Amino acid sequence: MLIDPTTAKQTAAPCLVLLCKRPALGHAKQRLAATLGQQSALVVAQALLNCALEDLRQWPGTRVIAPDQEQHLTWASSLGGEATCIAQSDGNLGQRLNELDRQLRHEGRRQLIFIGSDCPALLPDDYRTVSDLLQSFDTVLLGARDGGVVLMASNLPWPDLVALPWSTDHLGSSLAQLCRHDGHSVVIAGESFDIDHAEDLSHLATTLLGDDRPARRQLLCLLQRLGIGSDA
C-alpha cells in the first residue's frame, strides 16, 4: 500500500524529552532520603532513572535528555545512545520547561512530550495514547493521582509556566486552565502517578508486579530488598 508522505510526516512519533538529575548523595530524591536514608534514596533514584531511560531508548522518534546542570552534559551523553543532550536553564521548573521548549522548537521540533525520571508506572499504552491524541488536540496531559502531572505534551509552545503552583495538588488543573486560556485545545489522557515520597514506593511495588520490562523488574527487586512491597 502506498503511503502519502505528507500523512506519514504528520503521524511521525513526537520528540520525547527526559528532564533528569544525575543521581548523587544529597542531590536526587531528597524527600525519599528523609525516610529511606541517603544511600537507599540514591540507589532508588538511579533505578527510577533507568526506567525512564528504558522508555527513552525504545522511543521511535527523536529523543532529548535534559540534565539539570550543564556540567552533567557529558554524563547525559553517555546515557541515551542517539539522544540529543541539552542542559536545563536556571529557575523554577516552569522557567526551565519554557526555555527548553523554546530551544527545541527553535531547532524545528513541533510535537514535544516531556517526562521526568520518577514515573516508572508509565506504560507503552500511555505513550501511544498521548501520541494519538496529539493528532487531534494541541496539548495532552497525563494526570497524577496527587493532582500533578506525570507527562506534558504539546504541538504548541507552552504559555508562561513560571507562576504555576508546582509541587502542589493544584498543578494539573492549573496547567490545563492556563493552556486553555492561551488558546490551546487540551485533553487529559488519563492518570498515573510519580514517586515523591516513600509511601509512593509501596504502591509502585504492587503496580510493577507482572511488568516484564527489564528496568522495571530490577526496580521491583530493589524495592523488595529494601523491604518495600510484596516478595511475590
Query: Domain map of the chain by residue range?
Result: 16-224
Average pLDDT on 83-106 reads 97
* SS3 state at 202: helix
Dmax (CA) for the chain in angstroms is 58
All three cell numbers of 178: 492556563
Are residues 154 and 109 in contact, defined by beta-carbon separation less than 8 angstroms? no
CB–CB of 17/104 below 8 Å? yes
How many CB atoms lie under 10 A from the CB of residue 141? 25
Q: How confident is the model at residue 8 (pLDDT cuts 50, 70, 90)?
A: very low
**CB 87, CB 72: distance < 8 Å:** yes
Write phi, then psi, for 19 (nearest 5 degrees): -90, 130
Per CATH, the homologous superfamily of domain 16-224 is Spore Coat Polysaccharide Biosynthesis Protein SpsA; Chain A (3.90.550.10)
Mean pLDDT of the region 185-210: 95
Percent of the chain with pLDDT strictly greater than 90: 85
pLDDT, average across residues 66-94: 93
User: What average pLDDT score do residues 110-115 get?
Assistant: 97
Pairing of strands 63-67, 112-115: unpaired
Question: What are 191's three cell numbers?
Answer: 492518570
Nearest to 56 by CA among 81, 38, 73, 77: 81
Instruction: Determine the Cα angle at 143 with ends 141 and 148, to 5°.
Output: 110
pLDDT score of 65: 97
pLDDT mean over 164-188: 97
pLDDT of residue 4: 39
Q: Does pLDDT of 154 surpass 60?
A: yes
DSSP state of 37: -
Distance CA 32, CA 52 (A): 18
SS3 of residue 217 by DSSP = helix
Write the DSSP string, 9-46.
HHTSPPEEEEEE----TTTS-HHHHHHH-HHHHHHHHH
